Amino acid sequence: MIMTQPTCSTRSWRRPGALLLGGVLALNVASAEEIIHERIESEEHDLRLVRMVSGLEHPWGMAVLPDGRFLVTQRTGQMVLIDGGEVTELDGVPEVSAQGQGGLLDVVLHPRYGEENGGEGDNDWIYFAYSKPGDDGTASALARARLEGESLTDVEELFEQDRNSSPGRHYGSRLAWQEDGTLLMTVGDRGVEPERAQAGDDHAGSVLRLTDTGGVPDDNPFVDDDGVLDEIFTLGNRNIQGLAVAADGAIWASEHGPLGGDELNLIEAGENYGWPEASRGVDYGTREPIGVESLPEMRDAVYVYADRFAPSGLAQVDSERFGEWQDNLLAGGLRSEELKRLVIEDGEVVYRERVLQGQIGRIRDVRQGPDGYLYLLNDAGDGGLYRLEPAD
């Protein structure tokens, strides 16, 4: 059993040159809704695609507040609050490293946000993942904060991976809550030493499971194993950037693989998903296979995405607005610019459909909102927040 201690940080940071006018971020942000496509035909539903906001700078993750406002992270280091026609940059974001693939990454609300639990606002925490700068590289980190007006307050750093490294790649950093109130966080292999994903004494290349205060749940799979860090839930993951906990409790993950090796995995406690010893992809430079396709002691992917899908963002549909898509997964693609629908039966992908391709560019995040509509972020210097809704 290897213990690591959470630390605290309350540093604030603002991107130079951002001008606030009356609390509203004065950037090239357009916030009037615009129908991009009146009708997109799919096999089960005809869809309307609406751009809610444009001018966001490489948006990465989003969360919907109980009052319908959106929190959106920008990889460049800002969190913005979107309220109808206004986009406001929030003060109080910790210092982040926005080099390479790093920056301010995923964001989720406490699962009981808005509920009073012994006092007003006890559960009103916003959790966010980011790349934390250090003297010898960067680390994947997790913090939480409260929203007060136009600021993040009471900022607490809950987790920092045990080893800083360079370059700024493969942070993972997707977040998802389980029904038991524990928080899953993905950490990539950091892009240079893939064998780190097989090292139990290294957070890189894993899924972590934490309490809502950043501690270690008593029933984590490796708490009695002296060779594995207590936070680790699974090993052998290259770079998970899509994570969804289904209504039945199943944990689904979209994982960036090497060339041709992007995966959909069913995440289960204590399992090893093979990277880099088992992979369906090849090296980007040499085109040589990486590892073998399968090993008996490691979990195979449920599904390998075709070509260079580059997955990011994953959601399960359970909204009555999309009645024919019940329990389907929607996976976003970066390089492919696709939104892919995956039909799951008995833990297997039995059917797939390309719902979008190219309409909004690189899809970074996919969420179902509390209103039952589907929301997308596209990864671009002039990125946007989009709503996907039934056309009829």
Active site residues: 170
Where does residue 248 rank: exposed (0-12), middle (13-18), buried (19+ CB within 10 A)? Answer: exposed
Measured between its terminal Cα atoms, the distance across the chain in Å is 56
DSSP states of 89-125 as a string?
EPB-PPP---STT-SEEEEEE-TTTT--SSSTTTT--
Distance, CA of 352 to CA of 342 (rounded, Å): 5
Tokens of 88: 């406001």
- Specify whether the backbone of 198 is left (phi greater than 0), alpha (psi in -120 to 50) or beta: alpha
Neighbours of 348 (CB within 10 A): 10
Distance, CA of 318 to CA of 333 (rounded, Å): 21
Tokens of 368: 């179902």
Secondary structure of 227-289 in HEC code, one letter for each residue: CCECCEEEECCCCEEEEEECCCCCEEEEECCCECCCEEEEECCCCECCCCCECCCECCCCCCE
CB contact set of 180 (below 8 Å; sequence gap of 6+) = none
8-state DSSP, 58: S
Distance, CA of 90 to CA of 150 (rounded, Å): 5
Cβ(298)–Cβ(278) below 8 Å? yes
